[in-house]
Amino acid sequence: MRKSKAVIVSLLLVLLLSSCATLAKRERPYYHFQGMAQKGVIVVTVDALAEPDLVASAFGDLQEFSKRAKRVSLSLLPTTGEYPATPESLNAYGVVEGDYPKFLLNTGMMYAKELAKKSNKDGLMWFSQKDGPLSLYTPKNNALIFTNGEYESAYASFEKKEVLIPDEVASRMANASIALYSLEPETFFDLGLNLPQSVFQQAVEVLLLINKANGLYTVDAYITMESPKLASTLSQMVRSGYLARLKKEKIPYTIAELKQMFLLEEDLVTIQQMRLGEEQMQLLKQSLTGLL
């Protein structure tokens, strides 16, 4: 009887420990955009469920495809020094996550007249546009890779699963409607704050979390500069630009609200719940739509 009890206790401990391990893994999911954050790259991830219209406009006539999307993540590598960044000046690699059966999607692409099947000596396969730069493939269920550059490089990044963005930051990005991240950027998108390119070139890290509530978009921004002096200058520039926009659009504000919105701590500039105007969001969405 004692042996039976000992066996039962051992089994319970194994189940408990395995459950704990499973829970621990679930608490730290891996997001494909975590492996995209090489220096100078602009990483964008879009919650397709929160931004269905943006995803639908990007996929054009493929409405059934957009309805199945859950997340779209992009790695955007500037190819020129152009500022602000435009779709034409970026090499894009992306992963679309959703309800996409591997067999059905790849079979459909096989019969698409505008696509040609490609492969390399290692047995890697993909499809490329016959008259365009786009390459794409579904290497596993529920994940479609696409790029306007080399598919082999995009697939290698997808498979490597590097953690270039810390789990805590990645979790915050995944919980935003639209998130943008860049490590040591050379250029960035224009969000209507009239910031010069030098600001981004002097930044160590940029994180923007955009959310929509009651029809209005707001952004939480975390920008780490090369020095406290540069951070102080940036804080003043952003505050002045935002204040000028509020006055131009005749939006009421209080000094107390502005003090809570713009925070400065040594080399880190934090902006909380800053409202993005319709024009700013339209510019950003147009840029992203051109890349999806």
For 19-41, what is each residue's pLDDT tens digit?
444 444 456 789 999 999 999 99
pLDDT of 3 higher than 70: no
Joined together, the tokens standing for residue 16 give 């408990």
- Would you state the pLDDT for residue 276? 85
Q: What is the helix, strand, coil percentage profile of the chain, to 5?
A: 40, 30, 30
Say yes or no to pLDDT of 2 above 90.
no
Distance CA 67, CA 48 (A): 9
Phi and psi angles of residue 19, each rounded to the nearest 5 degrees, phi first: -65, -40
Sheet holding 115-119, edge to edge: 115-119, 125-129, 135-140, 143-147, 90-98, 69-78, 42-47, 178-183, 203-213, 216-225, 268-276, 262-265
Please compute the mean of the pLDDT values over residues 229-239 and round it to a whole number. Answer: 93
pLDDT at 67 over 60: yes
Please give the pLDDT value at position 62.
Answer: 62
Which pLDDT belongs to residue 196? 87
Query: What are the pLDDT digits (tens) for 261-288?
Result: 999 999 999 999 988 878 778 878 877 7
Closest CA to 75 of 147, 159, 171: 147
Give the pLDDT confidence score for residue 8 in this predicted structure. Answer: 30
pLDDT at residue 39, as a whole number: 96
Write down the pLDDT at residue 21: 43
Inter-residue contact 273 to 42 (CB < 8 Å): no
pLDDT of residue 292: 62
**What average pLDDT does the structure give for the chain?**
85
Question: What percentage of the chain carries pLDDT values higher than 90?
Answer: 57
Query: In which band, very low, low, confident or very high, does the pLDDT at 192 lie, cut at 50, 70 and 90?
Result: low
With a pLDDT cut of 70, the percent of the chain lying above it is 87
Lowest mean pLDDT among 9-13, 106-110, 252-256: 9-13
pLDDT confidence bin for 7, thresholds 50/70/90 = very low
**pLDDT score of 19:** 42
Q: What is the pLDDT of residue 290?
A: 67
The beta-carbon contacts of 66-72 under 8 Å, at least 24 apart in sequence, are: 68/98, 68/99, 68/100, 69/96, 69/97, 69/98, 70/97, 70/98, 70/99, 71/45, 71/46, 71/47, 71/96, 71/97, 71/98, 71/174, 72/45, 72/46, 72/48, 72/96, 72/97, 72/292
Rounded to the nearest 10°, the torsion over CA 75, 282, 252, 243 is 60
At residue 61, the pLDDT reads: 60
Instruction: Retrieve residue 151's tokens.
Output: 């598919």
Q: What is the pLDDT of residue 254?
A: 83
Contacts of 69 (CB under 8 A, 6+ apart): 48, 55, 59, 96, 97, 98
